[in-house]
Copies of this chain bind each other. A is one copy, B any other.
Amino acid sequence: MANKAVVGVDLGGTSLAAAVVDPESGEILGETRLKTQPELGALGVTERIHRAIVQSIKKAGLKKKQVLGVGVGVPGPVNPHTGTVVNCANLGPTWDGFPLQQELASLLEKLPVTIDNDVNVGAVGEHTFGAGQGSSDMLAIFVGTGIGGGVIIGGKLYPGLRNSSGEVGHMVIAEGGAVCGCGGHGHAEALASRTAIERYIRESLAAGRESIVPALLEKAGRDSITSGIIGEAWDAGDQVTREAVQRAQYYLGILISACVNLLDPEIVVLGGGVLERMGEEYLPPVREAAQQHYINKSEADRVRIVRATLGDYSGAIGAAILAQQRLG
């Protein structure tokens, strides 16, 4: 390793992970995962992030001075220039305007910190060491509870004027349609996310249709129809789940077509909980719906639509790479 190691942090609503990464190979040299405990508030969680970073450096067998810096992926909009979080719906109101970069750097002493939102960071991870390696222009779309994305242009994260590029989940694709978590109508997130699949299943159950989903929920002791439960019901051939998933695949294809008609990228990388659970099988109907709506149908397969390959690690690795790019 010619360059110093970098630490990437993936901050989630349930757990947080810190990984020491070799920026040349993407190899993880040491890793620590802790519960986030959002009830501690922004300062309390920042202390937990600090603890995870220190432990991961120790696990990697390194000293702090052998580390270049730290990147953090935050589940919400941030201002990467000031290092301030705009807000984090999953983590609570103490994060509104929280100066995460400054607070974490002060705990870490002398180690510089950079922050960005989790999907931008995931896009950088997939571009550098995942499915998008070697591409110049890439779009990443992460499908989970919501839908987020990141744009890579000319091999670099394209942040946009207000650091809010890649908000593909809130592109209107069915004007006046289903209500989104943000209050909008007909957004991709309201039609193609795990939440959209869950809503379709619940509405079908409420309409009296048969499904194995209630039994699976009971068995798992869960309230929420997770990607795991969707996958299980799909594998079992549950008709309601099949319809819900096929609808989400169709709308994800429509969303991709809108992005391709605007950007014509080399590659669209699909990640997030739903894709991870459903696997390669999820893609063909998505590709078909997308290509059906391309205005340029020539060489449609040249625009590759593939699955993310870093899984849970895209965030931590991407945050480390951003730290390398910005602090190196």
Give the contacting residue for A293; candidates B153, B160, B172; CB below 8 A: B172
Minimum CB–CB distance from A79 to chain B (whole Å) comes to: 10
Q: In the assembled complex, which residues on chain B have CB atoms less than 8 Å from the CB atom of A259?
A: 262
Neighbouring B residues of A25 by C-beta, 8 Å: none
Per-residue 0/1 for A143-162: is the Cβ within 8 Å of any B Cβ (1 yes, 0 no)? 00000010101100011111
A176 at interface, CB cutoff 8 A: yes
Cross-chain contact A295 with B167 (CB below 8 angstroms): yes
Would you call A162 and B296 a contact (CB within 8 A)?
Answer: yes
Q: How far is the CA of A93 from the CA of B177 in the complex (A)?
A: 39
If the complex has contacts A166-B262, A261-B168, A262-B168, are A251 and B175 also in contact, measured as CB distance less than 8 A? yes
| A–B Cβ pairs within 8 angstroms, 29 of them | A160-B263, A160-B264, A161-B266, A162-B296, A162-B298, A162-B299, A162-B302, A162-B303, A164-B261, A164-B295, A165-B262, A167-B295, A168-B261, A168-B262, A170-B293, A170-B295, A171-B257, A171-B261, A172-B174, A172-B254, A172-B293, A173-B175, A173-B258, A174-B175, A174-B176, A175-B177, A182-B295, A258-B258, A262-B262
Q: How many Å lie between the Cα of A169 and that of B151 in the bound state? A: 21
Q: Is the interface of A mostly helix, strand, loop or mixed?
A: loop
What's the nearest-Cβ distance from chain B to residue A28, in Å?
A: 31
Q: Closest approach, in angstroms, between the C-beta of A9 and any C-beta of chain B?
A: 23
By the criterion of a CB under 8 Å from any partner CB, how many residues of chain A are at the interface? 48
Most buried by B among A168, A257, A263, A302: A263
Q: Which residue of B lies closest to A139 (CB)?
A: B262
Task: Assess whether B172 is in contact with A173, with CB atoms less than 8 Å apart.
Answer: yes
Which residues on B sit within 8 Å (CB–CB) of A159? 264
